Amino acid sequence: SFYALAVGAFHQLALERLLLIKGGREGSPIPVLVGDMSQVESLTKHIPDVARTLMEDFWPGLLTLVLAASPELSPILTGGQNTIGVRQPDDPGVCELLKHTGPLTGTSANRTGQPPARSAEEVMQQLGSDIDLILDGGPTPGGKPSTVLQVAPEPRIIREGAISWDRLQKVFS
């Protein structure tokens, strides 16, 4: 839905630089994008059956699942919590890229507190020379952000976005 800042989810120096670029995010979790369901296993201790069902029903798409984080993940990604937010974006080109790079961060390409960027030009205006590369995919549709759903111990919406609680509840019934 918006442009994102992408660094390798397992590269500590890149994650530290991401925090400097975003500003004001210390202690906040950073979502991770994956190219397919198989990449989730490197990010979590366990994928509950309900999470697998949600992935099959809503991925690729605007659903971020909050799962138990692998102990190997940087506290920068988890925000010091024991969880990690994971999503497969609904863009075939981005998914193909992720299959080659592995999981990448998916935080919006803007400074904390500023509106998310919908075009490469907006990314350049906000972040300029602080970033190394902008992949210009044209304007994004914008709209509602992803819905963020904590899966365990009980399903709980952290942020309602493009996918409503009513749609999600059908999976739990």
Summarize pLDDT for 140-152 with one digit per residue, the tens. Answer: 988 888 999 999 8
Q: How far is CA 132 from the centre of its chain?
A: 20
Q: What is the pLDDT of residue 77?
A: 95
Q: What is the pLDDT of residue 142?
A: 81
Q: What is the pLDDT of residue 152?
A: 84
Q: Inform me whether the pLDDT recorded for 153 exceeds 90.
A: no
> What does the pLDDT average to over 70-94?
95
Q: What is the pLDDT of residue 154?
A: 86
Bridge partners, residue 66, by sequence: 85, 150
Q: Regarding beta strands 147-150 and 107-108, do their DSSP bridges make them parallel or antiparallel, or are they unpaired?
A: unpaired
Residue 171 banded pLDDT, cuts 50, 70, 90: confident
> What does the pLDDT average to over 34-45?
96
Q: What is the pLDDT of residue 82?
A: 93
Sequence-distant (≥ 6) Cβ neighbours of residue 95 within 8 angstroms: 35, 36, 60, 88, 89
Dihedral sign, Cα of residue 39, residue 43, residue 87, residue 121: negative
DSSP string, 127-158: HGGGSS-----------S--EEEE-SSS-EEE
Q: Regarding beta strands 156-159 and 147-150, do their DSSP bridges make them parallel or antiparallel, or are they unpaired?
A: antiparallel
Q: What is the pLDDT of residue 65?
A: 98
Residue 98 banded pLDDT, cuts 50, 70, 90: very high
Q: What is the pLDDT of residue 45?
A: 86
Give the angle 80-160-99 at the CA atoms, nearest 5°. Answer: 65
Helix (H) or strand (E) holding 50: helix 49-58
Q: Inform me whether the pLDDT recorded for 173 exceeds 80.
A: no
